[in-house]
Chain A
Amino acid sequence: MSPELLNALAIFVLAILVGFEVISKVPATLHTPLMSGANSIHGIVLVGAMLIAATADNPLSYFLAFVAVVFGAANVVGGYVVTDRMLQMFRKRETPPQKPADKPE
């Protein structure tokens, strides 16, 4: 295995651990926006689509790259817009969304 691959594997494993840490702290109320937000992040595959488009030089490659760019762009743009729409509603509240600590029982 090349050093690049070993580095990439290290990054991969650490990123997974970061993902577990960051995600496990999200409250249930935000799970739908979270799923949608995470969904937009894997739209990063758009970058991959652009990179293969850059070196496309035959009709099959053109086609594969074009569909990949369209798919990736739809994932990115749609994902972020729809997540923002959801979260906008959480912001509209009159009462600040604090933990139950601020309402004495």
Chain B
Amino acid sequence: MNQEAIYALVFLAWLAGAAAFVIGLHQMNSPATARGGNRLSATGMAIAVLATLVWLLVRPGGLGNSPMPLLIIVVGFLIGGGIGFVLARRVAMTAMPQLVSLFNAVGGGAAALVAIDDYIRGISIGEMEVSTAIFVVLGAVIGSVTFSGSLVASGKLQGVVPGQPIFFPGSRLLTVLLALGTVAGFALLVLAAAGVVALTPELAIIVLSLIVLAALIFGITMVLPIGGADMPVVISLLNSFTGTAAAMAGFVINNPVLIIAGALVGASGAILTKLMADAMNRSIANIMVGGFGGGASTAGAAGPGADGGNVREVGMDDAAIQLAYAQKVIIVPGYGLAVAQAQHAVRELAELLEDRGVEVSYAIHPVAGRMPGHMNVLLAEANVPYPQLKEMDEVNPEFDRADVALVVGANDVTNPAARSNPQSPIYGMPILNVDHARSILVIKRSMRPGYAGIDNELYLNPKTGMLFADAREGLTQLVAAVKLV
């Protein structure tokens, strides 16, 4: 076969891969076909990667005389793939968001490196078109911002970097300067490629390095001021960025599968980011400005004692009786439940109550956990039947008919201040109407504020009984107590 025919076959394989990505994503519409969709997408990826390898080996000249390229591809794949595989197999379900963020970081880094390498190669032999320069700088900048930003986001979720918004003197100014510097460097390189400005190859590479450095720091200063509670939105946005960076890298090396897959992810990430911001009733711009969840803000003043409210503590046996003789119980799980690994304990309690004829359902806030749908994944892991999981709009009217709302490790999504207190940073965020239930039980370790760093007036409600315990211990004791009722 001649080179043209081989390339045509490889191109078709890339196209098949791209089609598999689209169909795979489409199949992720429904839980029943989602797993198949992901596998189809993975198959498409395998086809695309294998076709690339075949093309590199059989094209005229192959991989050249040096063993290095093949060595880099094989050894690099084994190392990177091995690390990814082990991390993906071992990570706890609760740590999933930071791992996704980590994978997002390296994806962005890879896209930036592809663009940078192509630029160095092109400029060294004096071949640099204006369009290539544009895509190189876009790919390198977006990829670098994603790389450092995702690492910081991952660190915040893991607790390596403090979750509170971090500001330092001049941080806003620095961010603006970095952005301006990047734009200036971008303009310089494009003008150089157009021949308007004369730059030696060495100087051009230095300019590109400075741009990349500025983008890396920009990624850090962009994410640091954003509070941990907003991290899901940030990760989603950065996911979209990485897709765009991959598409830019595709333009640089003129590869259609990179362009298609990158654009797909860029679009999906953008939609997802918007959906998540909508769920919190905030704009993406408002989130990116940061500062949310500082803790000691004005709304924090409405804490216990400030308005003379009292917290009522209840015992396990009292709580068990309330639950056992209820007709309808709605469980409101939050991230605290996941951290304490209490999914199984909560399912046991729910089954026990159901055996006694109590109607049990779970109220899932769209942003419960650390990513949208995170709580569904965690409860699915504990074999909680799907129909019992109810989304906010569906379950909110039901609180009026519920005898007991049992809040386990959820905080901000139950805070009535979001409805009533215009001073609160979460004012306007749709919440679960837990306070509409006839009585409320809250399992919580202490009165500490939640992830958003603000106090919850639900705990001061006379209908609310507090059970101060770790989510798992508390639930286990409740199970034992209900058995004795």
Q: In the complex the two chains form, is B267's CB within 8 Å of A19's CB?
A: yes
Residue of A nearest to B129 (CB): A2
Q: What string of 1s and 0s marks CB contacts (under 8 Å) between B238-274 and chain A?
A: 0100110111011101111111111111111111100
B169: Cβ under 8 A from any A Cβ: no
Q: In the complex the two chains form, is A22's CB within 8 Å of B56's CB?
A: no
Counting contact residues on chain A (CB < 8 A from B), the size range is: 35 or more
**Residues of chain A contacted by B66 (CB below 8 angstroms):** 57
**Residues of chain B contacted by A96 (CB below 8 angstroms):** 32
Q: Is the interface of B mostly helix, strand, loop or mixed?
A: helix
Q: In the complex the two chains form, is A53's CB within 8 Å of B256's CB?
A: no
Q: In the complex the two chains form, is B386's CB within 8 Å of A71's CB?
A: no
Partner of A56, one of B41, B69, B88: B69
Within 8 A of A (CB), among B365-400: 366, 369, 371-374, 376-377, 380-381, 383, 385-387, 389, 391, 394
Q: In the complex the two chains form, is B85's CB within 8 Å of A77's CB?
A: yes
User: Which of A22, A45, A77 has most chain B Cβ within 10 Å?
Assistant: A45
**Residues of chain A contacted by B276 (CB below 8 angstroms):** 31
Residue of B nearest to A90 (CB): B31
Q: In the complex the two chains form, is A28's CB within 8 Å of B83's CB?
A: no
Contacts known (A56-B72, A84-B38); A35 close to B239, Cβ less than 8 A: yes
Q: Give A38 Cβ to nearest chain B Cβ, in Å.
A: 5
B210: Cβ under 8 A from any A Cβ: no
Q: In the complex the two chains form, is A8's CB within 8 Å of B251's CB?
A: yes
Q: In the complex the two chains form, is B113's CB within 8 Å of A103's CB?
A: no
**Residues of chain A contacted by B262 (CB below 8 angstroms):** 15, 42, 44-45
Q: In the complex the two chains form, is B380's CB within 8 Å of A28's CB?
A: no
Q: Give A74 Cβ to nearest chain B Cβ, in Å.
A: 4
**Residues of chain B contacted by A13 (CB below 8 angstroms):** 263
Q: In the complex the two chains form, is A44's CB within 8 Å of B258's CB?
A: yes
Q: Give A100 Cβ to nearest chain B Cβ, in Å.
A: 7
Within 8 A of B (CB), among A1-48: 1-2, 4-5, 8, 11-13, 15-20, 22-48
Given contacts A69-B76, A71-B110, 20 further A-B contacts (CB under 8 A): A11-B263, A24-B271, A28-B373, A32-B97, A34-B25, A38-B268, A39-B103, A39-B107, A40-B45, A41-B261, A44-B261, A50-B53, A52-B117, A52-B253, A53-B69, A65-B76, A70-B79, A76-B81, A76-B84, A79-B84
